[in-house]
Amino acid sequence: MKIIRNNNGAIINASYLLADAIIGERVLCPECGNYTFENWPFGWDAHAAHKCNINGTETQRKNIFKNRYRHLFR
């Protein structure tokens, strides 16, 4: 699939891509769409644990995020 970026240059369709296409790129959170990772995947765990719109404890939230978007990690 082709990479689609917003006006700020962040990838907005990451959930449809693979890790090789987005590693090191600016990426809009594939779950909430409210946070831009400046260098994917750095910071994903803190975002998932505290700011993303996933329900559960911090550990559950991180596990859900990682499992849901496993294809975006190496």
Q: Is 70 helix (H, G, I), strand (E, B) or coil?
A: helix
Question: CA–CA separation, 70 vs 61, rounded Å?
Answer: 14
pTM of the model: 0.94
DSSP assignment of 40-68 equals TTTTHHHHHHHTSS--S-HHHHHHHHHHH
Residue 32's pLDDT is 98
SS3 content of the chain, % helix, strand, coil (to 5): 40, 10, 55
Domain ranges for the chain, please list them. Answer: 14-69
Angstrom distance (rounded) from CA 46 to CA 59:
10
pLDDT tens per residue across all 74 residues of the chain: 999 999 999 999 999 999 999 999 999 999 999 999 999 999 999 999 999 999 999 999 999 999 999 999 99
